[in-house]
Amino acid sequence: MTKTKHAPSTQKVRRDVVGGKRGDGHLRSTRVRRPDPRRIHRGKCDPTLTGVAGLVSFGGHVRTTGLDRELARTFDDLKPGRLVVYPMSAQIRLALDSYVAGETRVFGIEALAADSVFVRLAGGVVPSLDTVYRDFERFDAERCRKLEGIVARAGLTRVARLRVPMVHMDVDTSVTPVDGEHEGAVPGPNPRYRGRPSYHPIFARVAESDTRVGATLRRGDTGLGEDDAARIGQWVERVRAVLGPKRDLCVRVDAGGDCAAILRAIHAKKAYFLVKARLTQDLVSALMAQTEWRTVERDALGRPTRQIAELPFQRSSWGKLEVRVIASRTSDRESRQLALWDGVDLDSVHVYLTNRPDDADDIAWDYDGRAGIEPLIAERKGALGLGHHSSWHFDANHAAMRVVMLAHNLVLNWVDAKYPPLRKWRLPWLRRALIRVPGRLTRSGRRSTIHLPPSSPLSRQLN
């Protein structure tokens, strides 16, 4: 029996934040009666109304960070000349606002072309889709590389504010199938999309800040291996530079990271690695030969439910690199990866590779945190259209993907600066509360004014 007068609310109840009222049905004695919609009359059309009033506040924050100037310095020379109507930096900001507002393709600009705020922020006129497509096709590999640097710096802004002794960088890949012919989109080894043309992008995120610090679009037949060692090393170096010498960095990768070149690249940048091992035949033999296991968990009857062992195993490709091989076996049937022992309840085993010196059981548990990158990728696919590729041109799709990543990082930085109580919210809810807000854009003399509803978090201070 509860001792409190009122049941505590949960973090899922967000009606108060977005300006709604709690239901009071328990205080009413009459049924709710819905009105007849036919009795609600339609007034005159108002061209000043907007459905994305939050873009004003977001754009103002982005301007204070100097991003607009940086985009102009870096990309405006792609469209030189005095007669240019749509500078390249303006086109990138146009796409950025579109992604933040909830459109997942370049084609979504058509839906926003009649919105007063979107048109005003675009400079008074929204270009045709053909112009936007052609401008993205101006990107080449070098400009895509510079765009990734801007994405990373936006993500590292949040990382710099972390106050934890160890930061985790998770590296993962994804498959984004396409319809039609796209440059570089070819069938790959992924069993879920067998035979379908696709891209195989690779991402890096800092778990504690939930921001992207690296993203690269790759051909569909590209796997994680030696060719990615230099790229991962560069990502580690940029995070390492922000953290400084007093904080540790641990890079977590799935079994694709069981590659000597990747392990050396991480170790060379003075970072720890924690990698899921590929269960090759020699490693399985070492597991079968292991007899000493340390019990770290027991059930109510005193029977072991989790055991840890450190295997005396080394791959020849590691050379002089010191790698600890840690095995964890449990009775958890849901996490079964490999069953080796008949008649033993602990029949689910996982093996990890690391250069960390701390306790083996802590290391094994720490790897589970890498699972957070999977729902993050899924969210970016759904909320930002990460898997949508609108152009046949590879570099155009590469640039668009990085603009999507930039939108994600900038929204999180904006929320940190202006609405810190909402830091834990996911992007779909942030968009509902802060971006897709109704409003009215008016202009008097030379001054533009945005009018917001009083219930919006944009118009009141959040506690």
* pLDDT given at position 413: 95
* pLDDT given at position 2: 47
User: Above 60 in pLDDT, residue 282?
Assistant: yes
Q: Which residue has the higher pLDDT, 194 or 319?
A: 319
Q: How far is CA 244 from CA 164, 214, 295, in A?
A: 12, 19, 37
Q: Model confidence over 330-368: pLDDT tens digits?
A: 876 555 555 555 555 556 788 999 999 999 999 999 998
User: Above 80 in pLDDT, residue 190?
Assistant: no
Q: How far is CA 316 from CA 259, 313, 321, 323, in A?
A: 11, 10, 10, 11
CATH fold group of domain 142-380: Transposase Inhibitor Protein From Tn5; Chain A, domain 1 (3.90.350)
Q: Do residues 263 and 318 touch, judged by C-beta distance below 8 A?
A: yes
The domains of the chain are located at 49-138+419-459, 142-380
Residues 6+ apart with CB under 8 A from 9: none
User: Above 50 in pLDDT, residue 1?
Assistant: no
Q: Can you tell me the distance from the alpha carbon of 107 to that of 104, in angstroms, rounded to the nearest whole number?
A: 8
Q: Model confidence over 369-421: pLDDT tens digits?
A: 887 777 777 777 777 777 788 889 999 999 999 999 999 999 999 999 999 98
Q: Do residues 321 and 260 touch, judged by C-beta distance below 8 A?
A: yes
Q: Do residues 387 and 376 touch, judged by C-beta distance below 8 A?
A: no
Q: Do residues 387 and 397 touch, judged by C-beta distance below 8 A?
A: no
pTM, two decimal places: 0.88
Mean confidence (pLDDT) of the chain: 88
* pLDDT given at position 358: 92
Tokens, residue 108: 């979504």
* pLDDT given at position 332: 67
